[in-house]
A and B are shown apart, each in its own frame.
Chain A
Amino acid sequence: MNTEHAVHVERLCKTFGPTTALDELDLAVPRGTVFGLLGRNGAGKTTLMRVIMGLLRPDRGEALVFGEDMRRAPIDLRARVAYVPQEVSLIARLDLARHADLLGHFYPRFDVDAARSLARRLDVDWDLAAGALSVGSRRKAAVVLALASGADLVVLDEPAAGLDPLARRALYELLIERLGEGGELTVLLSTHLVHDLERLADRVAILDAGRTLRVDDVEGFARSLVRLQVVFPDDVPRDFEIPGAETTRREGCVAVGVVDVVRAGGRLAELEARRDLRVTRFALGLEDVFVELVGPREDSLTEVAS
């Protein structure tokens, strides 16, 4: 039982009929971090969160929260976790004030005053029934309640989906403030908005087809993957491969590839030391890394070089 991690997932599998949602997925979320799950639609993010929350039964493998399976966890452990699902459905006839009263029964450290203050800052009507709130306001309200719950782990599934840029910014500022207040709050956040993660996340896992492709911190992604352009004096030799690159694209005298710096090792330095070639590194943002890892590889060389 690993309690160093807020969430520990091992070889998790979940299928829905013929569809494999999670495929031997491994993940460890250290305590006190903001951990982002990044993946395109259908990558398995929501299913993973539902399994972690004990709402879906995995076919194989295990998902532990603070060392316990949430399906069997006692209430005191469950009260350390707050969850905001993608499809936020607060209780329609209760206003936020009553939701706060209700959650006060469930979360021992729930702070009603903080909830009211956060709601005001996010411009969510405290006294309006949840059913009368817009989808965006309901989402903000759910995040407010989760942040005010005093939980040690907050699980947010696409919290900013459907929010306008101002609301999204306000929401994340709130989250950053809350994280800055100390304590050991862990946030597990799924999104397909890369810039949100660049701003918030300490570590990011890129998921695709139910598997973890890579886990690193944002800077780590930028350090470990670079786009390399190699210009030859003549046409690129047919057998030339950029070291550490999964694919090398060639057009005339230019070869381009995305290089895993660690995997390339000393071969990259050797290439860069060659005097007959002009080798240039281009830094990649998280979005570029994401596209390189999971996206189609059909961008033209001209675009890449430019």
Chain B
Amino acid sequence: MIPANDANVLRRSALRGLLWMDYQRHKEGFLVGLPMLAVAMLAVGAIDGASGPLVFWMGLAMGVACGLGFGTGEWTQGVEEYSLGLPPTRRDRYLVRFALGLAFLLPLYVLGLASGPLGWTRALWELTPFELPAGRLDSVLWDGFAGPGFCVLGIGLSLAVFAETYAVSINVERRGSPWFVRLVPFGVGAALVAVADSAFFPDAFGYLTGLLGLAWVAPRTVFGARAFERKDVVLDGPTTGGGTARPAPLLAVLLGVLAAIGLFVWALAAKP
């Protein structure tokens, strides 16, 4: 039994509950993420000269986790009123989902760091019937992490997807506004994804990842908007439902953590 008058104990218990709830709600998504990771690892081996494409998936995964944090998942699943009526505040939800995002991101970084020297990419590639691509298999990830593009890309893509999901939750307050106005944030998010991809990835791979970004944004836009339209009254945006936490400070913390990780890896890779 949690002591009713101890807010700290109650908060810790609520955070555990939120983690458990998010795991239960999204465990299939996590399982889907694993094959995505394998595909990403294969792509790393296949694309000659790509500068750490695994970072793209990291950004995407981070964006997914952040997206959940701003209630989009709850809105599109239609459980927002029940879920937001529960005791945890918005601040608690943000914290838990950032933690989830980082928990998803950090193993990827570790994997990225370790896969080159340990030969995991090669081992994975050998599971397929295809011929091993020649060249930098054993060091490509390490090299990729060494460039400044890593930080910019990881943060830029996270931001782009974050902006898109944040826009979804903001848009619920503007149900009556014209379609083209409501689509502007999505367009900006998609454009950011596409531009960042084509800038950092060479040749056709950049366009491919850009298209992936668009393919990510478009159905979310449609399904999200349709979910809102079905409701009699939509709830307010990301600052209601308990707690006064605004996303900006937490976003700053997230970016700081990402930058710190990036600098750490960069410094590590630059070490002779």
- On A, residues with C-beta under 8 Å from B are 16-17, 21, 46-47, 50, 53-57, 70-76, 78-81, 83, 85, 87-94, 98, 101-109, 142
B residues 1-50 in Cβ contact with A at 8 Å = 1-7, 10-11, 13-14, 16-18, 20-21, 24-25
How many angstroms from the CA of A295 to the CA of B118 in the assembled complex? Answer: 78
Residue B189 lies at the interface, judged by CB distance under 8 Å to chain A: no
CB distance B241 to A54 under 8 Å?
yes
Per-position 1/0 for B72-98, Cβ under 8 A of A: 000001111111111111001000000
Chain B residues with Cβ below 8 Å from A102 are 17, 20-21, 24
Q: What are 17 A-to-B residue pairs whose CB atoms are below 8 Å? A: A50-B235, A55-B81, A55-B236, A57-B236, A74-B7, A75-B7, A76-B6, A78-B86, A80-B4, A85-B82, A87-B78, A87-B232, A92-B79, A102-B24, A105-B17, A105-B18, A107-B87
The one of A17, A92, A105 that contacts B14, using a Cβ cutoff of 8 Å: A105
How many angstroms from the CA of A104 to the CA of B86 in the assembled complex? Answer: 11
How many angstroms from the CA of A17 to the CA of B16 in the assembled complex? Answer: 39
CB distance B85 to A108 under 8 Å?
no
How many angstroms from the CA of A81 to the CA of B13 in the assembled complex? Answer: 17
How many angstroms from the CA of A50 to the CA of B240 in the assembled complex? Answer: 11
Chain B residues with Cβ below 8 Å from A142 are 82
Starting from the known contacts A93-B25, A106-B86, 4 additional A-B residue pairs (CB-CB under 8 Å) come to A16-B233, A76-B10, A89-B80, A102-B24
Chain B residues with Cβ below 8 Å from A85 are 81-82, 85
Q: A55-B235, A55-B236, A102-B21 are in contact. Are A79 and B4 (CB under 8 A)?
A: yes
SS class, residues of chain B in contact with chain A:
loop
CB distance B89 to A78 under 8 Å?
yes
Residue B243 lies at the interface, judged by CB distance under 8 Å to chain A: yes
CB distance B20 to A56 under 8 Å?
no
CB distance A91 to B81 under 8 Å?
no
The one of A78, A87, A92, A108 that contacts B2, using a Cβ cutoff of 8 Å: A108
How many angstroms from the CA of A90 to the CA of B86 in the assembled complex? Answer: 11
CB distance B85 to A53 under 8 Å?
yes
Closest Cβ of chain A: how far from B24's Cβ, in Å?
6
How many angstroms from the CA of A17 to the CA of B14 in the assembled complex? Answer: 36
Chain A residues with Cβ below 8 Å from B232 are 46, 87
How many angstroms from the CA of A98 to the CA of B24 in the assembled complex? Answer: 10
How many angstroms from the CA of A104 to the CA of B87 in the assembled complex? Answer: 11
How many angstroms from the CA of A21 to the CA of B234 in the assembled complex? Answer: 13
CB distance A73 to B242 under 8 Å?
yes
Q: Which 5 A-B pairs have the closest CB atoms?
A: A105-B17, A83-B85, A108-B2, A78-B87, A108-B4
B residues 228-272 in Cβ contact with A at 8 Å = 231-233, 235-236, 240-244
The one of B1, B24, B242 that contacts A78, using a Cβ cutoff of 8 Å: B242
CB distance B242 to A76 under 8 Å?
no
How many angstroms from the CA of A89 to the CA of B81 in the assembled complex? Answer: 8
Residue B176 lies at the interface, judged by CB distance under 8 Å to chain A: yes
Chain A residues with Cβ below 8 Å from B80 are 89
How many angstroms from the CA of A75 to the CA of B245 in the assembled complex? Answer: 13
Chain A residues with Cβ below 8 Å from B11 are 75
CB distance A108 to B82 under 8 Å?
no
Closest Cβ of chain A: how far from B114's Cβ, in Å?
34
Closest Cβ of chain A: how far from B246's Cβ, in Å?
12
Chain B residues with Cβ below 8 Å from A71 are 240-244
How many angstroms from the CA of A78 to the CA of B80 in the assembled complex? Answer: 16
Q: A54-B241, A108-B1, A108-B2 are in contact. Are A90 and B82 (CB under 8 A)?
A: yes
Closest Cβ of chain B: how far from A108's Cβ, in Å?
4
Chain B residues with Cβ below 8 Å from A53 are 85
How many angstroms from the CA of A306 to the CA of B126 in the assembled complex? Answer: 91
How many angstroms from the CA of A80 to the CA of B231 in the assembled complex? Answer: 28
